[in-house]
Amino acid sequence: MRHRSPQSFSPNHKRDAVPELAHHNLDIKRVAILFAGGPAPAANAVISTAAFSFLEEGAQVFGIKHGYSRLAEYTAAGPLCEGEDYIRFSHDTLINARSSRGIMIGTARTNPGKHVSSPEHLKDPELVAPLRRVYEGLCSLEIDALISIGGDDTLKTANKLKMFQDNLPGDARRFPVVHLPKTIDNDYSGIDFTFGFFTAVETLAEEIRNLNFDAAAGRAYFLCEAMGRSAGWLAYGAAIAGEASMVLSVEDITGALADEEVVNAETGATRKVMALERVIDRMVDMMLARERDGRPYGTIVIAEGMAEFLPAKYLEGVSRDDHGHINISSINLSALISRLIGERYTERTGKYRKVNGLQMGYEARCAPPQAYDVLLGSQLGVGAYRALVEEKLNGVMVSVAGQFDLHFVPFDDLVDPQTLVTKVRFIEQNSDFHRLARFLETCVDN
C-alpha cells in the first residue's frame, strides 16, 4: 500500500505521544468498517471518509451491515453473504454520501461482549464465544484492520475484541482495532464534542422554540424529556439554544435534590436517588417566579437519564438491556414528572396549570447533519486511516481537539482495567457551561 506522508499531519499533532501506544506492523490491504448503537447525524461523513481514505490507497473496504448482529451468529449462520451481511465500498457508493442522512451500512445494538466483565472472563471459552464468532467472521473476510464506530458500549466491545486477540496463540491471525466515538449525548471521555451532537441540539432546540410559542398561547407548560442516559449535554444544549425556562439532568441530582435509598437491609447498602418532592418543588418554584413576572407559561427540559435515579417503587418490573441499562421508554419519565408538577402546583396554589409531558430525541438522530458535524465526522474518518496506516496503532480511539487536530487515545485511558466499563464524561458542576444554563434560565430563589 502506498502510504501518505506523515507530514500531512497538523503541526500541532502530539507526535511525541505516539511511541507510548501499541503499534503493529501489518500492511493494511483489506479493512472493515462497522457501526453499532443508535444513529447520529453525520454518521455517513465518518463512514464514507474512512472508506475513501483507504480506497484512495488501493485497499478493499468492507462495510459490515447492522453492527455486530450477524457477526455474533457467524458460526451457526454460515458464511457471510455479500450484499446481505456486508458491502464492498467503491468510489461510486460514496458519491454525495458525506452530508447524507441515516447510516449507509445500518446499525444494531447486539453486544457480543456482554458476558465479559473482567479480564479473567476472556479466558473462559463459553463467555468469549460471541467475541470468537465475531473474530472468526471478520477473519473469513481476511481483513487486516477493523474500524469500529459507536458509543461507549461499542467502545467496550472494541476493547474486548482487542483483548480477546491479545490472548490468542502467538501464531493466530490478528488485526488492529481502532474506534471512532459516536453519540449525540456527547458524554464521551477523551474528546470534547462527538459528531452529531450539535445537529441534535439544533433539532431539539427548534422543537423547544416552537413549544415556547405554544406554551405562551395557552398559558401552559411543556416538560420535555431529552435523550441523555448518562449525562446532560444534550438536554443542556437544547435548553440553552431553545431558550427553555429550566433544565435539569443527572448532574443536578446532588445536594438538596438527592437522597439515599436503602437497597439491602442486611448489608445497609444504599444508592443515590432523586429527592423527588424537592425536584418537583424546584420546578414549581420556577413556575411561580415566572408568574410573578407576568409569564404564566414556559418549557422545562430534563434528561432521560434521571429515570435511573427514581426511587425504587417507580422502577419495579422495569427490564434492562444487554448493557444493564433500564428500559427508559417504558417508564415515560416526562409523563410521570409532568403529572407530579401539575399536582404539586395545584397543592401549593389552589389553581390549575396544564403541564404537557413529551419525549424528544429520536427525531434528532437522523436529522440532516450540520456543517460542523460533517467536518468533525470527516476528520474522524480520516483519523482512522492515519491511526492505522501512518501511525500503525492498535487499541486507540481517534479524537479531535483545537483546530480539528487529531489525537489518538489508548483504550486503557478510557476503560476501567478491572470492570472493562468506560468512563462517562459528565457536565462538571459549576463549570462555565453549567453556569451558563443557570444564568440563562428563570431565576429560582434558594
Rounded-to-integer distance, Cα 422 and Cα 411, Å: 9
- Using a 10 angstrom Cβ sphere, with 0-12 exposed, 13-18 middle and 19 or more buried, the burial of residue 277 is exposed
Is the pLDDT reported for residue 330 higher than 90? no
Q: Which amino acid is at 159?
A: N
**Residues 39-62 pLDDT 10s:** 999 999 999 999 999 999 999 999
Query: Among this protein's residues, is 153 annotated catalytic?
Result: no
pTM, 2 dp: 0.89
pLDDT interval class at 101 (50, 70, 90): very high
List the single range of 57-71, 235-249, 309-323, 349-363 with lowest mean pLDDT. Answer: 309-323
Name which of 226, 201, 194, 312 is nearest 263 in CA terms. 312
Q: What percent of the chain has pLDDT over 90?
A: 81
pLDDT value, residue 8:
39
pLDDT value, residue 16:
40
Query: Which domains, from first to last, does the chain contain?
Result: 6-194+369-413 (3.40.50.450), 200-365+428-440 (3.40.50.460)
Is the pLDDT reported for residue 233 higher than 50? yes
pLDDT value, residue 264:
72
Rounded-to-integer distance, Cα 171 and Cα 155, Å: 26
Q: What is the DSSP letter of 37?
A: S
How big is the CA angle at 278 (ends 207 and 216), to the nearest 5 degrees? 30
Average pLDDT, rounded, for the chain: 90
pLDDT value, residue 362:
87
* Contact status, residue 369 vs residue 102, Cβ threshold 8 Å: no
**Residues 308-320 pLDDT 10s:** 899 888 888 777 7
Rounded-to-integer distance, Cα 16 and Cα 19, Å: 7
pLDDT interval class at 323 (50, 70, 90): low
List the single range of 12-21, 308-317, 349-358 with lowest mean pLDDT. Answer: 12-21
Is the pLDDT reported for residue 17 higher than 50? no
Q: What percent of the chain has pLDDT over 70?
A: 93
**Residues 261-285 pLDDT 10s:** 877 777 878 889 999 999 999 999 9
Rounded-to-integer distance, Cα 183 and Cα 223, Å: 23
Rounded-to-integer distance, Cα 307 and Cα 317, Å: 14
Rounded-to-integer distance, Cα 243 and Cα 251, Å: 20
Rounded-to-integer distance, Cα 117 and Cα 421, Å: 8
* Contact status, residue 156 vs residue 148, Cβ threshold 8 Å: no
**Residues 136-176 pLDDT 10s:** 999 999 999 999 999 999 999 999 999 999 999 989 999 99
Rounded-to-integer distance, Cα 63 and Cα 143, Å: 11
From 85, 185, 187, 373, the catalytic residue = 185
* Contact status, residue 14 vs residue 69, Cβ threshold 8 Å: no
Read off the pLDDT of each residue in 339-347 and give the average, rounded to a whole number.
97
The three cell numbers of residue 297 are: 407559561
Read off the pLDDT of each residue in 67-83 and give the average, rounded to a whole number.
90
Name which of 56, 62, 97 is nearest 82 in CA terms. 62
Is the pLDDT reported for residue 10 higher than 80? no
Longest dimension (CA), the chain: 77
pLDDT value, residue 159:
96
- Greater confidence (327 vs 8) lies with 327
**Residues 244-262 pLDDT 10s:** 999 999 999 999 999 988 7
Q: Which residue has the cell 454460515?
A: 78
Read off the pLDDT of each residue in 180-192 and give the average, rounded to a whole number.
94
Classify 181 as helix, strand or coil. Answer: strand
Give the length of the chain. 446
φ and ψ at residue 10, rounded to 5 degrees:
-60, 145
- Using a 10 angstrom Cβ sphere, with 0-12 exposed, 13-18 middle and 19 or more buried, the burial of residue 115 is middle
Rounded-to-integer distance, Cα 334 and Cα 341, Å: 10
pLDDT value, residue 1:
54
Rounded-to-integer distance, Cα 307 and Cα 333, Å: 6
Mutual angle of helices 432-440 and 233-242, in 10-degree steps: 40
pLDDT value, residue 201:
97
pLDDT value, residue 359:
93
